[in-house]
Amino acid sequence: RPDLILFNGLGGFTPDGREYIIALAPGQVTPAPWVNVLANPHFGTVISESGVAYTWSENAHEFRLTPWHNDPVCDSSGEALYLRDERSGHFWSPTPLPARAATHHVTRHGFGYSVFETRSEGICSELWVYVAIDAAVKFSVLKVRNESGRPRSLSATGYVEWVLGDLPAKSAMHVITEIDPSSGTLYARNPYSPEFADRVAFFDVDEPTR
């Protein structure tokens, strides 16, 4: 890509240096996870070019909201987002993982955000991921555009594997979840956490139908 600086066959910097662009052809992968750290002083997430991420609050080791897999090669995640065609039943993720569509994927790592762009079966998607500047909130903003020339019925489904501690094996049995019937928000807490027993994590969709 001649428009990228220091292009290595998979990615390079934009001329203004504000973004690192990773362009993956179908089946193409990076040699290891290429990540972006999005954080404020009390909360953050690490997200790779494949969309795999883990999130923490206050302490990146002791209070992981979702699991961190210490593996420099295998890009596993406890967070995911899926798109599904309700008529055909076909599903895929707007990121290269976990359910990769057989198409090109573009990842843009910027200062404080990451963007994932792809097009599958006439559906273009753009996923923006960032954290609030002064709050313990992570945002995943999904934009979908129908370019298939026919009406489509799509659903978006989020997945989260709660840890609320340092290791899932230690905290899984203690995590308590509940759903707010009025908003549909999923809440989770770990009352056995030595330092963060009073913390409540949540997963919510701002616009469930459209």
Give the tens place of pLDDT for each residue, 10-19. Answer: 999 999 999 9
In a domain, 134, yes or no: yes
- Residue 123: inside a domain, yes or no? yes
Residue 196 lies in a domain: no
- Domain limits at 52? 11-169
pLDDT per residue as tens digits for the range 135-146: 999 999 999 999
Number of domains within the chain:
1
In this prediction, residue 1 carries a pLDDT of: 57
Does 206 reside within a domain? Answer: no
115 falls within a domain? yes
- What is the number of residues in the chain? 210
This prediction has a pTM of 0.93
Paired strand residues for 124? 119, 145
pLDDT in tens, 173-198: 999 999 999 989 999 999 999 899 99
| pLDDT value for 73 | 72
> What's the pLDDT at 70?
79
**Strands 123-131 and 91-92, bridge-based pairing:** unpaired
Residue 153 lies in a domain: yes
Mean local confidence (pLDDT), 46-52: 96
Q: Give whole-number Cα distances, 35 to 75, 83, 88, 188, 195, in Å.
A: 10, 23, 34, 26, 28
Residue 195 belongs to some domain of the structure: no
Q: Which residues pair with 37 in a beta bridge?
A: 46
Q: CA–CA distance from 207 to each of 65, 91, 135, 179 (Å)?
A: 23, 20, 21, 17
**pLDDT, tens digit, for every residue of 101-133?**
999 999 999 999 999 999 998 999 999 999 999
Q: Is 84 exposed, middle or buried (0-12, 13-18, 19+ CB in 10 A)?
A: middle
Rounded Cα gap, residues 12 and 22, in angstroms: 7
In a domain, 176, yes or no: no
Residue 55's CATH number: 2.70.98.40
